[in-house]
Amino acid sequence: MPDAVPDAAIMTDVILNVSDITVEYGTSGKPARAVDQVSLELSRGEFLGIVGESGCGKSTLLFAIAQLLSPPAQLVAGRVTFKGRDMVGLTGEALRTLRWRDYSVVMQSAMNALNPVMTVAAQYDDAMRAHGIGDTTQIRARAREVLALVGIDAVHLKSYPHQLSGGMRQRVMIAMALLLSPDLIVMDEPTSALDVVAQRSLMVQVKELQRRLGFAVIFVTHDMSLVGHFSDRLAVMYAGRIVEIGPTRPLFANPQHPYTRGLLDSFPSVHGPKVHLEGIPGAPPDLADLPSGCRFRPRCPDVMPRCAEVEPALYPAAEADVRCLLYETPHG
Domain boundaries defined on the chain = 1-102+183-332, 110-181
Strands 47-51, 233-238: pairing is parallel
Query: pLDDT at position 112, please?
Result: 75
> Mind spelling out the 3-state secondary structure of the chain?
CCCCCCHHHCCCCEEEEEEEEEEEECCCCCCEEEEEEEEEEEECCCEEEEECCCCCCHHHHHHHHCCCCCCCEEEEEEEEEECCEECCCCCHHHHHHHECCCEEEECCCHHHHCCCCCCHHHHHHHHHHCCCCCCHHHHHHHHHHHHHHCCCCHHHHHCCHHHCCHHHHHHHHHHHHCCCCCCEEEEECCCCCCCHHHHHHHHHHHHHHHHHHCCEEEEECCCHHHHHHHCCEEEEEECCEEEEEEEHHHHHHCCCCHHHHHHHCCCCCCCCCCCCCCCCCCCCCCCCCCCCCCCCHHHCCCCCHHHHCCCCCCEEECCEEECCHHHCCCCC
Q: Given this model, what pLDDT does residue 12 score? A: 52
- Give pLDDT tens digits for 260-303: 999 988 877 666 677 777 778 999 999 999 999 999 999 999 99
Residue 8 has pLDDT above 50, yes or no: no
| Cα dihedral: 177, 178, 183, 188 (round 10) | 30
Question: pLDDT class for 6, splitting at 50, 70, 90?
Answer: very low
pLDDT digits (tens, 9 = 90+) for 29-68: 899 999 999 999 999 999 999 999 999 999 999 999 999 9
User: How confident is the model at residue 1, as a pLDDT?
Assistant: 38
Residue 230 has a pLDDT of 93
| Domain covering 1-102+183-332: architecture | 3-Layer(aba) Sandwich (3.40)
Task: Say how far apart CA 301 and CA 280 lie, in whole Å.
Answer: 9
Q: Which residue would you say has higher pLDDT here, 16 or 332?
A: 16
Q: What is the chain's mean pLDDT, rounded?
A: 90
Per-residue pLDDT of 148-207, as tens digits, reads 999 899 999 999 999 998 889 989 999 999 999 999 999 998 887 778 888 888 889 899
Tell if the pTM clears 0.85, that is, is over it: yes
